Structure 1
Amino acid sequence: MTKNSAWTILAVIGAIVIAWFLVNVLFSLVAFVVKLILVAIVAVIVYVVMRVFVGGRDDRR
Structure 2
Amino acid sequence: MSRSFWTVVGVIVAIVVAWFLVDALFSLMWMLAKLAVVAVVAVVVYLALRSALSGSREE
- Whether TM-score is above 0.5 comes out as yes
Distance in 2 separating the partners of 1:22 and 1:49: 41
Q: Which amino acid aligns with 1:13?
A: I
Q: Which amino acid aligns with 2:10?
A: A
How many angstroms does 1:58 deviate by?
Answer: 2.5
Moved over 2 A (4+): 57-60
User: Which structure 2 segments of 5+ residues have no match?
Assistant: none
What is the TM-score of this pair, normalised by structure 2?
A: 0.93
Distance in 1 separating the partners of 2:58 and 2:38: 32
Structure with greater proportional helix content: 2
SS at match of 2:56: coil
The alignment of Structure 1 onto Structure 2 pairs a total of residues equal to 59
Q: CA RMSD in A?
A: 1.0
